[in-house]
Structure 1
Amino acid sequence: MTGGTRPGGTAATPQIEGALVEIQQYLAVLRKRWLSALLTALLILLAAALVTLLQTPRYEATNRLFIQTLTESSIAELNGGVDFASQQITTYADLATSPMVLDPVIEELALDKTSRELAEDINTSIPPDTLILEITVTSTTPDLAADIANSTAASLRAVVAELSTTTSGSTVKLTVVSTADAPSAPASPSVPRNIALGLLLGIMAGFAVAVAQELSDNRVRTTEDVEKSVAMPVIGSVQAVRDSEQAPLVMSDRPHSVEAEAYRELRTNLRFTGLNAASNSILVTSSLANEGKSSSAINLAHVLAQAGNCVLLIEADLRRPSLSRYLGLEATVGLTTVLIGEADLSEVTQPLETPGLEVLTAGPIPPNPSEMLGSIAMQRTLDTAMAAYDYVVIDSPPLLSVTDTAVLSRIVGGTLIVARSGLVRKPQLRAALEKLTTIDSDVLGVLLNRVPRRAHDVYTQRYQYAIDSESSVAMAARAETLALLREATSPRQELQPADTSSSRESSSLGDRRAETSEPLAKTLSRETESTGSRG
């Protein structure tokens, strides 16, 4: 018995799990589209309420008649009379709405209706297993409904009495059991019923609208959307930052935030994409503008430098440069200055506070960006940078706007496509990827940027751990500072060599920054003199 039960239970388990997954998917759709579903439900409910208020009230009044036969008192005759009444009662019900009965009613009450029109307001019914005929009249006024019901019953009694009269007298008698009284409340519309129906229809319509929007939405919102639309792996997913202006400075200003943790995950994943010492340049681009490619490039450069690498961040967006504005750097010299031969690469790079990270801004905007980026000078500049730095991160223009990025993608180690959740559409992302694959460019993967917080449910535990670890790191830093203070005030001098080494390292870093700043100052001076002579 046990052996026979187990296979059945095992077979049912996948079906139950599949049903649960489907329910969870529907619930996820409702969470995502809750506003549309709510508005639709409220709209349907409001429509039901308006229809109820606009309907003309209808009142119902009912007169009840008992059908009996006039026979002798023998049992056989009584039974025969009951059978005869049961057979005749349906005929009387139909007779109640005939012109023979209703014409006298119209004349008596002076109604402005025909017998056919009046018949539409009269309903006759026979309760089961009874000899009672109910005449129910519907009207716009309660008194008129009661008058018509009582007058119809009286007219029916007269007609039946006339039709059933024989030489021996009347054999069928209709007795009024209860007269029709004017109702105190309308029978229709029923406010509770209409509101309940409106609420039910609203919920169903809201759910249908949410599902329809989900099926028709072609925007990229989740990791699954990217992988299904372009068959490209998502190697990073960055949560939306409340203050968009702080997005480029996540790694430097909030190194222990959940967003910074996402960039660390991106750095880890990039190690498995084929980048090596001979091909260490990463081109960062997007399909459209405003997807966060520049902020992603800045944070990627920061996180690579924080791992102990020497990193150069190049601003190759020569049409709408933004790195100098984000980072507060000099913008009058940069990449274009190097490409036209007025300065060497080492003379115009600018260091940031993060050790090992330097930036080459765009410089003056040229009239021919595509030609400059596709020139031999750009290839030589990139080769020089790749030889001098561990990693070279390049911020480039959007793929679907201009051809600059397609030109650069052929001479770099790999291209990282930034896709902003809720902005770029699936056809646009496919078109951008096809633009790269057509020219055999190496695409590293997709970075899903500014993902809404509700879409990060999968990573909740990891992000919560990152948040909790921030306080732990802060406590550890304070403890280390107190330990250093105690050691500094201690009479023992065992840490002097380490302090000398740290001082020497700081001095070396300061000398390096000074060496970098001095050529930059000279270049700026030459640019100023050149501008003055041209003026």
Structure 2
Amino acid sequence: MTVGDYARAVLRSWLVVVVLAVLGATGGFVLAKLTPETYSSTGALLVTSDRGESTSELVQGSAYVQDLVATYVLLARSELVLQPVIDELELDTTPRALASTITASSPLNSVVIEVSATSRSPRLAQEITSAVMASLAVVVTNDVAPLDANGNPTVRLTVIENANEPRFAVSPSTRNYVLIGGLIGLALGIAFSVLRAFAWQTVRDRGDVQRLTTVPVLGEVVETRRGTTLPAAILNNPLGIEAESVRAVAANLNFLKVDGGLRSIVVTSAASGEAKSSLVIALGLMIAESSKRVLLVDADLRSPSLAEYTQLDGGLGLTNVLIGESSLAEAAQDWGTDGLSVLTSGASAPNPSQLLTSQRMTDLLAEARKEFDFVLIDCAPLLAVTDATWLGNQTDGAVLAVLYNKTTMRGLEKVLHAAEVGGLSLLGSVLTRVPRRGVSRYGVGSYGTQPAQDPTGLTQRLRRRGRAR
């Protein structure tokens, strides 16, 4: 994936990224409010030496003291210093636990020791800091500092900055918590977007298809309103945006083969539920507009749908013709508009592959091309069975239905490989159920405001069937 691919992945999941960032910031705010406030008090001690009267002795004494400062910094958090503090303040804790609230440090090349104590009470933080400095000074003077010839300590600690009572809590910082929480949520959102793009990248525009193949994208079919099928929307309003989007696909079919034009095509998909059947019916309606005789053939014998969604009799159809029980003229039924006929799947057959690959099927296709100007065949998904490959080689080629935001890039890649292996000529692809909000980008618009009349009630029956497969 390129940088542009990563950017597109994040943009596609921008709502998830924003929601996670807001949730992270909200979580940080709540955590800050639930976390008890902590106060810190700081004081400072100066380490000096009484050794030496001459200049050289004073210099040696200063270097000697600097060597001792690091030791006294560690000593400030020892049990020897902290136990007297616990006893004096009557604290209900242990030296080890108290040491976790004490911080002692010394600025570089200095003889100053800074002592800090934290507590949930500002007053107690001040008292602990003062008590620790006092205890450290006593321990150094009485127990640790070297003695001179007279038995006096050579090092002493002097308080140069008394512990202050803090006015503001040092933690939690609501602003920092919110910022960190928001950044964590943002990072999770971006990670989710990228992982989703890697694991389940779906086709969202014609550019996704064009990155994998040189097969042309014939157009984008607009998603219908809820409860309405694509054929019903076209019959109800032949000048609506649904009809115009399919009309554009039908027009582009004319440019695929200049010499002689197309006479028969197979419409298939990568998997089931990618709106190939509704595309077949809709294309049939649009092609029949130009006074052509069009035949729709339901060759998806394992999961037929044309009879169900056109409300035609499915008991007589393709299988009956293939086994010699009926002729094409007897089995084909007029539907929808003048010049459009539908050959349903017919009676259920236990051997669909044998029927579709038979010589009788080849003869039937040749007969259909003589009787009709255009033959559209609804076939099973290409990745499920090889029916589409066989029938595609008996016709002018295949058109692939690609469902917006469902067909995965991996699935599309498998389809292209299967077509190449089977020698199937892919004429083009059609993006189906594209959101209506994006149709203006494709130059599709509505040229009529009044829906066409439906005296037979056909579109009402189609609406009740839900979306075509």
Normalization by structure 1: what TM-score? 0.69
Hey, what does 1:174 align to over in structure 2?
Answer: 158
Aligned to 2:465: none
Query: Aligned pairs, how many?
Result: 440
Matches within 5 A, 1:436-515: 436-453=419-436, 456=438, 460=441, 462-463=443-444, 466-467=445-446, 469-471=447-449
The answer for the alignment partner of 1:421 in structure 2 is 404
- Contact residue 248 and residue 294 of structure 1 kept, 8 A: no
Report the counterpart of residue 294 of structure 1 in structure 2: 277
What is the SS of the residue equivalent to 2:394? coil
SS at match of 2:231: helix
Q: How does 1:19-98 map to 2 (within 5 A)?
A: 28-42=8-22, 44-45=24-25, 48=28, 52=32, 58-65=38-45, 90=69, 96-97=76-77
User: Residues 489-521 of structure 1, C-alpha deviation per residue, up to 9 Å, x if partnerless?
Assistant: xxxxxxxxxxxxxxxxxxxxxxxxxxxxxxxxx
Q: Say if 1:208 and 1:296 are closer, same or farther in 2 by CA, change over 3 A.
A: same
Contact 1:236 1:262 in 2 (8 A): yes
Query: 2:236 is aligned with what amino acid?
Result: D
Cα 1:292–1:173, aligned 2, differ >3 Å: closer, same or farther?
A: closer
Q: Deviations 1:370-413 (Å, cap 9, x if unpaired)? A: 33333333222222221122211112222233343333223212
Note the 1:89-168 alignment, pairs <5 A: 90=69, 96-97=76-77, 101-110=81-90, 118-125=98-105, 134-139=114-119, 141-159=121-139, 163=145
CA gap of 1:52–1:115, structure 2 versus 1, over 3 A, is: same
Q: Confirm or deny: 8 A CA contact 1:164 1:172 kept in the other structure.
A: no
1:347-366 to 2 correspondences below 5 Å: 347-366=330-349
1:222 to 165, 187, 205: 205
Q: Which amino acid aligns with 1:60?
A: S
| Structure with the higher helix share, 1 or 2 | 1
Is contact 1:297–1:393 with CA below 8 Å preserved after alignment?
yes
SS in structure 2 of the partner of residue 284 of structure 1:
strand
Partner of 2:456: none
Deviation, 1:128, is 9.4
Aligned counterparts of 2:291 and 2:232: Cα–Cα separation in 1: 19
Question: Unaligned stretches of 5+ in structure 1?
Answer: 1-20, 71-75, 478-535
Paired position in structure 1 for 2:248? 265
1:378 to 325, 343, 361: 361
**Residue 34 and residue 425 in structure 1: after superposition, are their counterparts in 2 closer, same or farther (change >3 A)?**
same
How many Å separate the matches in 2 of 1:179 and 1:364?
95
Tell me how far apart the structure 1 counterparts of residues 110 and 424 of structure 2 sit (CA, whole Å).
89
Shift of 1:414: 1.5
**What is the letter of the counterpart of residue 162 of structure 2?**
S
Q: State how 1:176-191 maps to structure 2 within 5 Å.
A: 177-181=161-165, 183=166, 186-191=169-174
Report the AA paired with residue 380 of structure 1: D
Quick check: 2:117–2:129 contact (8 Å CA) kept in 1?
Answer: yes
Classify 1:461/1:295 alpha carbon distance in 2 versus 1 (closer, same or farther; 3 Å). closer
Mapped to 1, the partners of 2:184 and 2:261 lie a distance apart of 64
1:22-71 deviations in Å (ceiling 9; x for gaps)? 57x6554333213432454355446645765675654322334577899x
Letter in 2 for 1:470: G
Structure 2 CA distance for partners of 1:430 and 1:46, relative to 1, 3 Å: same
Query: Is 1:199 equivalent to 2:192 in the alignment?
Result: no
Instruction: Indicate the SS of the match to 2:448.
Output: helix
CA-atom RMSD in angstroms? 4.1
C-alpha displacement of 1:293: 1.1
Report deviation, 1:123: 2.0
What does residue range 386-401 of structure 1 map to in structure 2 within 5 Å? 386-401=369-384
How far does residue 194 in structure 1 lie from its aligned partner after superposition? 1.7
Deviation (angstroms), 1:235: 2.1
Give the direction of change, closer, same or farther, for the CA distance of 1:90–1:298 in structure 2 (3 Å limit). same
The 3-state SS of whatever aligns with 1:225 is helix
How far apart, CA to CA, are the structure 2 residues paired with 1:221 and 1:314? 29
Tell me, in whole angstroms, the C-alpha distance in 2 between the residues paired with 1:403 and 1:225.
25
Q: Percent identity?
A: 33
CA shift at 1:114, angstroms?
6.3
**Cα distance in 2, alignment partners of residues 171 and 436 from structure 1:** 91
- The whole-number CA distance in structure 2 between the counterparts of 1:411 and 1:195 is 65
Q: Is the 8 A contact 2:24 2:178 kept in 1?
A: no
Offset of 1:158 from its aligned partner? 3.9
Give 1:304's match in structure 2, choosing from 275, 287, 305: 287
What TM-score results when the alignment is normalised by the length of structure 2?
A: 0.77
Letter of the 2:448 counterpart? E
Q: CA deviation at 1:281?
A: 0.8
Q: Tell me how far 1:353 sits from its aligned partner.
A: 4.4
Q: Among 301, 305, 309, which residue is 1:322 paired with?
A: 305
Q: Go from structure 1 to structure 2 and tell me whether the alpha carbon gap of 1:362 and 1:61 turns closer, same or farther (over 3 Å shift).
A: same
Separation in structure 2 between the aligned mates of residue 232 and residue 296 of structure 1, nearest angstrom:
18
Unpaired stretches in structure 2, ≥5 consecutive residues:
453-469
Alignment partner of 2:391 out of 383, 388, 408: 408
The 1-side partners of 2:442 and 2:302 are apart by 41
Alpha-carbon shift at residue 107 of structure 1 (Å): 4.1
Hey, what's the Cα distance between the residues in 1 that align with 2:157 and 2:17? 61
Q: CA shift at 1:307, angstroms?
A: 2.6
